[in-house]
Amino acid sequence: MERKKVFINKVIPEAGLRLLEAAGLDYTMWREKPVLDREQAILFCKGHDAFLSAGQSGLDADFFEQCSHLKVVALHSVGFDGVDIAAATKHGVPIGNTPNVLNRATAETALLLMLTVARKALFLHKQIQKGAWGVSQPTQDLGIDIAGKTLGVVGLGRIGTELATMCAKSWNMKIIYHNRSRNEEAERELGAEWVSFDDLLGQSDIVSVHTALTEETRGMFDLKAFKKMKSSAIFVNTARGGVHDENDLIQALQEGVIWGAGLDVTNPEPMSSESPLLNMENAVVFPHIGSSTFETRNEMARCAAENIIAGLNGERLPYPVNPEVYGNDNINTPQ
Ligand code: DGY
């Protein structure tokens, strides 16, 4: 029988490659810089049975029209906001993602941002580089304690709950949250309290965003929202840059509407090196490193490979994004 072929658009950890090899699959992995554009990715996909996609842009309706032969598209991410899921389903292409395995690493990134902003750590580090480590004054360069403060989580799902657990258990923080649906387990285990979006803005000392980017959440943090926050509050976003309006955030920080901000996601990505956020005392920006640990990336590669193997065996993906595809007469079963 002819061996099935997988196209991988970036270099992924060995853990995933070994699984593909053990399953008797051949793969082509794009190892060059720059990364492939959409048209090149389509050409490669046309010669393969499955696509393992690490952050490929342009997975839109036309992509699935042209690549409707794919038996599976396995994302090397938990987020799938860049993928036209309805189009994939229409063409019978199962999409898989990597849920859960990056909860801890992403929550720790949010915590790192919270603490770095609260203690002005990055700004003070830059001061030393400038030779400005002067005589310490008792009232100079003071930060904010996070212990005992109120954390407002927008999107208390898997990652938000991981952060809320760390903050409640290690820092004795009060947890409030805003979701479309109630998280009863977090209410029971952490004493988390559901509040309206406006109440969350008004009561939180730190607001941390963990919601998916949807039409409903796009731009939900605009100047109007920042003005409802405490002037001593810190805004943290490790979810998607599109959830905040970056110009409004810059204005809010410049005018002291809020105290500080920590971003692991920006809008657009990559952020321009000219962004005023990079030179502000009260802002910290990371280049989308939420899942960037050896352990987490190995696990993500494993999930993605498991999705590929199941899809090519004609089985239900272990981590499906569009399970509705299985009710679809069009479903791409291997020949
Ligand atoms: C994801 O997996 O969606 C995270 O943003 C990491 O890239």
255 CA distance to ligand 1 middle (Å): 31
- Segment (H or E) for 107: helix 103-118
- The three-class DSSP label of residue 136 is coil
CATH assignment of the domain containing 94: 3.40.50.720
* For residue 34, cis peptide bond before it (omega within 30 degrees of 0): yes
For residue 335, being part of any structural domain is answered with no
Active-site amino acid positions: 240, 269, 288
pTM, rounded to two decimals: 0.95
Q: Closest ligand 1 atom to the C-alpha of 77?
A: 2
Q: Is 168 in the pocket of ligand 1 (CB under 6 A)?
A: no
Q: What is the layout of strands, in order, in the sheet containing 5-8?
A: 26-29, 5-8, 50-53, 72-75, 95-96
Nearest CA to ligand 1 atom 5: 79
Tens-of-pLDDT digits for all 335 residues of the chain?
Answer: 789 999 999 999 999 999 999 999 999 999 998 889 999 999 999 999 999 999 999 999 999 999 999 999 999 999 999 999 999 999 999 999 999 999 999 999 999 999 999 999 999 999 999 999 988 999 999 999 999 999 999 999 999 999 999 999 999 999 999 999 999 999 999 999 999 999 999 999 999 999 999 999 999 999 999 999 999 999 999 999 999 999 999 999 999 999 999 999 999 999 999 999 999 999 999 999 999 999 999 999 999 999 999 999 999 999 999 999 998 767 786 65
Are residues 263 and 312 part of one domain?
Answer: no
For residue 332, being part of any structural domain is answered with no
Are residues 227 and 116 part of one domain?
Answer: yes
| Alpha-carbon gap, residue 50 to 16, rounded angstroms | 14
Are residues 274 and 159 part of one domain?
Answer: yes
Q: Which are the contacts of 38, defined by CB distance < 8 A and separation ≥ 6?
A: 56, 57, 58, 63
Per the DSSP assignment, residues forming a β-bridge with 262 are 236, 284
For residue 160, being part of any structural domain is answered with yes
Alpha-carbon radius of gyration of the chain: 22
Are residues 314 and 273 part of one domain?
Answer: no
For residue 307, being part of any structural domain is answered with yes
The residue whose CB lies within 8 Å of the most ligand 1 atoms, and thus the one to mutate among 106, 211, 299, 319, is 106
Packing angle of the helix pair 103-118, 158-171 (nearest 10 deg) = 50
Instruction: Kindly tell me the burial class for residue 117, based on how many C-beta atoms sit within 10 Å of its own C-beta (0-12, 13-18, 19 or more).
Output: buried
CA 328 vs CA 59, 146, 164, 267, 334: distances in Å: 20, 50, 38, 35, 15
| Alpha-carbon gap, residue 282 to 278, rounded angstroms | 10
The structural domain count of the chain equals 2
**Do the Cβ atoms of 117 and 283 come closer than 8 Å?**
yes
Sign for the CA dihedral angle at 213, 105, 290, 12 comes to negative
Packing angle of the helix pair 103-118, 294-312 (nearest 10 deg) = 150
| Alpha-carbon gap, residue 198 to 190, rounded angstroms | 22
For residue 139, the enclosing domain spans 103-285
